[in-house]
Structure formats: C-alpha cells, structure tokens
Amino acid sequence: MKKTFLIATFSLFLFGCNINPNKEARIQKLETEIQQIIVKVEKPEYFLLRPEVEKAYGYSHAVKIGNDIKISGAVSMDDEGNPIAIGDLGQQMKNCYADLEKILNHYGCTFDDVVVENIFTTNMPLFLENAGYRTTIYKNHFPTGSWLGVKELALPEFMIEIELEVHKAE
C-alpha cells in the first residue's frame, strides 16, 4: 500500500512538473527519496531466539521484511539446543508455541497476526489427538497452512515442528 501511495504521489508530482522549468532536478530528487523510503521499509531485520544454537545450525529464527515476518520452524528444545519433552508430543507442541510467542512478542505481534502456520510431525495420529490445543493459541481465527506427516525432523527426538508467516498491520 505504501508503494502504491508513493507511485501515485510520484505520478501527480510528474504531472505538476510539466509546467515547472526545474522538473528534471525535482524528478531526480523525488526518485532518490522514494528509493530511500522503499529500501528502508524493505530492509530485512533478523532475530535470533537462541543465537548460539542458530549459529551452530546455520539459520535465523525470524526475518522481518516490511510488514511480513517469516519464522523458522520451532521445535521443543532448551537454550542449549537439547531436545526436551522427549516422547511427549503434546508438551513438545506447547513448547513450540511458547517459543513462537517469544518471537511474536519481539516484533510486537500476537497469534492474531499469523497468516500461515505449517506443522510438521513424525506422528500424525498423535498430533491429531493434540491438535485441539491450537484453540487456546488461535482464539479469534485460524491461519492458513498445512499439516504434514514427515519421516523425521532435525533430531530424532523432535516429534513436531511449527513454522509461521506473520503480517503485522500498520
């Protein structure tokens, strides 16, 4: 929406420049200002929930670009990267959502801002038994997304991984 507004403003400016003798200089100045605004709005902002773990595995837990935030899959681990709640998919799911909430809070968001949720699990029947927990997370509406049964996750103890896409309204 900001880009559309900027383009419309630029078009009106160009129309007005047709009667202005300094139009080339004014056009160049406005083009430079618009580029600076667009670059500022779209500059990625990276967030690391567990910097040492994420550095060791080679990923960022979240990246915000403009109003959109991509959050890497959360798994049930402690601050050193060790799996926790081994064998308990329900508790692993709760641990995932607790980590995701920390990331959302960092960006001033809530689960209401989530537009996509993808869940990967090594045990779909057990996940379906626990999926009702999501109603305590998404109280106003559910996001789009997929539930995928997979053979394995990063470590054999992980039974579930949840990734999110967020749109933060202005």
CA distance 91 to 27: 59
Q: Taking the C-alpha atoms of 89, 70, 108 and 37 in order, what is their torsion angle to the nearest 10 degrees?
A: 180
Can you give the pLDDT at residue 24?
81
H or E segment and range at residue 8: helix 2-17
Shared domain for 30 and 67, answered yes or no, is no
Q: What is the full per-residue pLDDT of the chain (170 aa) written as tens digits?
A: 455 444 445 454 555 545 566 778 788 888 777 776 665 568 899 999 999 999 999 999 999 999 999 999 999 999 999 999 999 999 999 999 999 999 999 999 999 999 999 999 999 999 999 999 999 999 999 999 999 999 999 999 999 999 999 999 87
Rg (CA), the chain: 22
CATH number at residue 50: 3.30.1330.40
CB 130 within 8 A of CB 90: yes
Structural domain range at position 29: 2-42
Can you give the pLDDT at residue 2?
54
Shared domain for 121 and 38, answered yes or no, is no
Name the pTM for this structure.
0.77
- Which residue carries 């056009």 as its tokens? 27
Other CB atoms within 10 A of residue 122 CB: 18
Shared domain for 35 and 49, answered yes or no, is no
Residue 115 Cα distances to 42, 48, 54, 105, 130, angstroms: 19, 21, 24, 16, 21
